[in-house]
Amino acid sequence: MLAGRPPAAAACRGGAGARLPAEGPALALPAEGGARLGLLPSAPHPAWAPGWWRLAVASGMRLRLLLLLAACWGRGALCGSPPGPAVHSLRGSWWLGNGNGSVVLRGEVPGCVHTALLRQGLIQDPYYRFNDLAYRWISLDNWTYSRTFKAPFDVSKWQKVNLVFEGVDTVAQILINNVTVGRTDNMFNRYSFDITSVIKEVNFIEVRFLSAISYAAEQSRSHRAYSVPPQCPPPVQKGECHVNFIRKEQCSFSWDWGPSFPTQGIWKDVRIEAYNLCHLIYFTLTPSYVKSAQQWSLEIESVFDVVSSKPVVGLVTVNIPKLQTQQTYTTELPPGEGRIVLLVNINKSATVQTWWPSGHGNQTGYDMTTTFNMGARYKIEKFSKAYFRTVELVEEPIPGSRGLSFYFRINGLPIFIKGSNWIPADSFQDRVSSDMLKLILQSTVDANMNALRVWGGGVYEQDEFYDICDELGIMIWQDFMFACALYPTDQNYLESVRAEVTHQVKRLKSHPCIILWSGNNENEAAVAGNWFSIPHAEMKVYFKDYVTLYVKNIREIVLAEDKSRPYITSSPTNGKESVKEGWLSQNPYDTHYGDTHFYDYFSDCWNWTVYPKTRFASEYGFQSWPSFSTLEKVSSTEDWSYTSHFSLHRQHHAAGNDQMLHQAGLHFKLPQNTDPLKRFKDTIYLTQVMQAQCIKAETEFYRRSRSEITNGEGHTMGSLYWQLNDIWQAPSWASLEYGGKWKMLHYFAQHFFAPLLPVGYEDDGVLHIYGVSDLHSDCELTLQVRVHQWSSMEPVCTLAKEGVTLKAGSAAPIYKEPVNDLLKRCGNCTRQSCVVTFYLMGKGDLHSPGNSHFLSSLKDAVGLEKAQLSATISQQGDLYTFVLQTTAITPFVWLDVGNIPGRFNDNGFLMTEKRKVVVFYPWEPIHIEELKKSLSLTSLMDIY
């Protein structure tokens, strides 16, 4: 945007006001309105009077500067202002009561009604057994939060006093001293209410909530022109209706992996802000790189509320010490809301270290101080981290294929996206702690993931979530909060959405981790595929609504607010092809364009030919049950069977329990133990084996499809399985259980997302092995292939193929042999009696994890015997070493330490050697005796 311009450029953001002359030409930055800004070369010192005086003298403009500043001071815009602003949080204990006053208690803010009732002992754990149904009354009632507070300052000394809510859930009337100061109807918006005329020395505040269920139903009833489906979730989800009519966490009305808990509460900070002159509301940083100038720039946007009746003139100094960059600017803000946009050109002599995704480099950030001197006594200092990275979504023709590519280039490097999909970590957001976020996100990186998709049916996550992702290098595909539904487009709804989107983009766009904005989850597919059986003659209105909401509103706001990262209207989408077709493609699942979602619970998941050879797999998955130790906390002894009322109640996906057994039964014998509890535990274990093996097969297919085009399909550049985390203790597609415990799938992900990986598969009786590399340089490798008989710990034959060259960032075939030839070469092997393992080795520490290929279903395996498994545990500092020993080849060895929080460095593995060392990383201090007592060892033959 500013290529080739000298540092002395000027940015104008509308509004009246003078601009100080500068050395060199001025340049106007386009904007919709806001403050004008004069830009001058860097001052030698951040202290504004002496530095600016010397600068004025040096530039021959001393007199004009003096006259302008004198004129501003004369108008009284800058002088005599007390320091500020004054901020007073209203966090803490409030009174909480239901509609008829029969329930009154203390409740914490931030918080919600459910957790307040739980803390006071008035209800059990909402997740216990059937309490999601038993406590439905809580969400149907109308609750009020109230408290008194003393004004922490002399109100008369401030020009403006605001009541600010960072998050209200959801529909509420706000009163101070019995005067209504505002209303809320959007969980995702920030609300600021002017209370200057009503605040007193001692004040009474009320937040009167209306049931989200009642509000959504009323909004649906009042939308008389035409229906906006779906009306209600499927009965198996046991949820509430009309969630698409309220701007609230969509899955709080239920989903196929979560309960219905439509909360009410003040879920984020609430505070009083008092200020004179002006107040900083938003502060954002956006990096850009100008190739022609070979220079990084930083666009700094600041949004102010100016309460002065006259324009406010001031100085802004930006200082990034480690980049030897310091620049100072003059500003003039008109009364009202003003926007300042500064362009900081980074010193060319400084070496800028870019931010990289995990596995591709460091996540370097630079400390930056921005000082706003808005008058002699009014100073605002903003301390922030500046990150530098570029992101491109590349959609361009591919030789040998119709359609377009769909991949991300970070800092000019094509990156294969490896990760999963994020859902809310709890039904009650005040229970999502910093520790919980750190634990789950660290587990993401520990499994070799570099990306997460924040799914559009949950919430825009808290600031700390994105801060941690910045620090860990986790790229974020950020959906806007619309999912699996059509939505109204009346004026009030659109105004609420516009405020929501504007706020969230301003709040989040400084984060380098966010690489994409996406308008919704699956709504293009819902319209194109007519999920809701709308008569063809009536479809035109829904086409129009779709374009109105996601294109004419959300997209326009995103493009105006953030030009630094791409926007797509939906997921899945055909990207540019969808745009070409009027934003709604006839087939959003076309593998030649965009991204795809794919689920198939009936075909054999080991059969790679059922999977779409897509450009980008953004959703795919299989269910499993969480471990018994996780379920035990929310269940009773009569619940501990696969067919219990509890097990059926907890399953929110139609026929989900049967589908798991069907898929498992294709390759494994189902548990038949006569002890019901043992059979339940065995079934849980087997569903986790099945899930891990299925998603391994599918993910490895996507990874090996990276570099090839077959029949016009391929160049797959992303795999985000569904889903990463759980919202409660239930069967789901997650690889992390509620609380963070790793399922077998998550341990498998650590391997199938490894930066260097051999992938084996069969095609027409031929065994193929591909080498997959996310490394930045070519490497010379040795492929080692072993064939084991199930009945023997010694390999019957070993092949070492040296001189395997694998190009950086590629997937390529490195081995090929008919299975029958391999078996003949290896003596007495048959498909049923033998298994193939393989791994890659390079120089030094370079190696891949081991991988395997089953030549037959394990239910047909010959020679497998029940091994004697044992473990010896020792402590080494904060870690614990488990030395495992086995008497036979053992598939899917599973170490479980119950409720002890932590993870192993490997688990669920095929053990082909007599001895294996596994390390346990505890998440809390523990005693070795606890580990010994809690440990259980399970393998496939233990469940038969």
> Which residue, 547, 80, 509, 38, is CA-closest to 301?
509
Q: What are the angstrom distances between the C-alpha of 69 and each of 138, 828, 920?
A: 59, 94, 66
- Torsion angle of alpha carbons 495, 499, 504, 506, nearest 10°? 130
**Spatial CB neighbours of 57, under 8 Å, sequence gap ≥ 6:** none
Contact 736, 903 (CB under 8 A): no
Q: Is the pLDDT of residue 530 over 80?
A: yes
Give me the amino acid identity at 308. Answer: S
Q: How confident is the model at residue 491 (pLDDT cuts 50, 70, 90)?
A: very high
pLDDT of residue 83: 59
368 CB neighbour count, 10 Å cutoff: 21
Q: Please report the pLDDT score of residue 377 as a whole number.
A: 75
Residue 943 has pLDDT above 50, yes or no: yes
Cα–Cα distance list, 408 to 334, 390, 403, 519, 716 (Å): 41, 10, 17, 18, 11
Mean pLDDT of the chain: 91
Average pLDDT over residues 342-365: 97
pLDDT at 11 over 50: no
Percent of the chain with pLDDT over 70: 91
pLDDT given at position 371: 95
Alpha-carbon distance of 421 to 412, in angstroms, equals 25
The answer for 352, left when phi > 0, alpha when psi is -120 to 50, beta otherwise, is beta
pLDDT at residue 908 is higher than 60: yes
CB 898 within 8 A of CB 840: no
Lowest pLDDT segment from 105-114, 374-383, 528-537, 560-569: 374-383
Of these residues, 299, 522, 561, 577, which one is catalytic?
Answer: 522
User: What is the structure's pLDDT at 602?
Assistant: 97
Residue holding tokens 């280039």? Answer: 409
Cα–Cα distance, 259 to 253 (Å, whole number): 7
Whether 619 sits among the annotated catalytic residues: the reply is yes
Q: Measure the CA–CA gap between 544 and 183, rounded to whole angstroms.
A: 30
Strands 417-422 and 451-454: parallel
Closest C-alpha to 336, from 308, 313, 314: 308
Whether cis (ω within 30° of 0) applies to the bond prior to 321 is no
Cα-only R_g, the chain: 30
- Tens digit of each residue's pLDDT (9 = 90 or more) over 684-694: 999 999 999 99
DSSP state of 609: G
Is 522 considered catalytic here? yes
CA-CA distance, 81 to 358, in Å (whole number)?
47
- Whether the per-residue pLDDT at 659 is higher than 50: the answer is yes
Quick one: pLDDT at residue 827? Answer: 85
The rounded distance, in Å, linking the Cα atoms of 932 and 716 is 45
Q: Residue 64's closest CA among 28, 22, 32, 102?
A: 22
What's the pLDDT band for 85 if we cut at 50, 70, 90? Answer: confident
Rounded CA separation 612/598 (Å):
8
Q: Cβ neighbours of residue 407 under 8 Å, at least 6 residues apart?
A: 393, 394, 414, 415, 416, 417, 615, 616, 715, 717, 718
Quote the CA–CA distance of 359 and 613 in Å, as a whole number. 25
- pLDDT in the model for residue 828: 83
Distance CA 2, CA 26 (A): 11
Amino acid symbol at 53: W
Which one, of 534, 459, 458, 485, lies nearest residue 231 by Cα? 485
Taking each helix axis from N to C end, the angle separating 463-472 and 434-446, rounded to the nearest 10 degrees, works out to: 30
Q: CB under 8 Å, gap of 24 or more: what pairs does 85-88 form?
A: 85/273, 85/274, 85/275, 85/279, 86/152, 86/153, 86/158, 86/272, 86/273, 86/274, 86/275, 87/271, 87/272, 87/273, 87/274, 88/149, 88/151, 88/152, 88/153, 88/271, 88/272
Give the model confidence (pLDDT) of 139-190 as tens digits: 999 999 999 999 988 988 999 999 999 999 999 999 999 999 999 999 999 9
Has residue 19 got a pLDDT over 80? no
Position 488 confidence tier, pLDDT thresholds 50, 70, 90: very high
**Catalytic residue from among 332, 461, 619, 700:** 619
pLDDT value of position 152: 87
Distance CA 716, CA 416 (A): 8
Residue 46 clears pLDDT 90, i.e. is over it: no
| Structural tokens at position 290 | 């100008």
At 706-760, the pLDDT tens digits run 999 999 999 999 999 999 999 999 999 999 999 999 999 999 999 999 999 999 9
pLDDT of residue 23: 29
Distance of CA 77 to the CA centre of its chain: 44
Among the listed residues 168, 113, 101, the one whose alpha carbon sits nearest the alpha carbon of residue 496? 168
| Average pLDDT rounded to a whole number, residues 458-476 | 98
Q: What angle do CA 860, 865, 867 make, to 5 degrees?
A: 140
The answer for residues whose C-beta is within 8 angstroms of residue 763's C-beta and 6 or more apart is: none
CA dihedral of 37, 39, 42, 46, whole degrees rounded to 10: -10
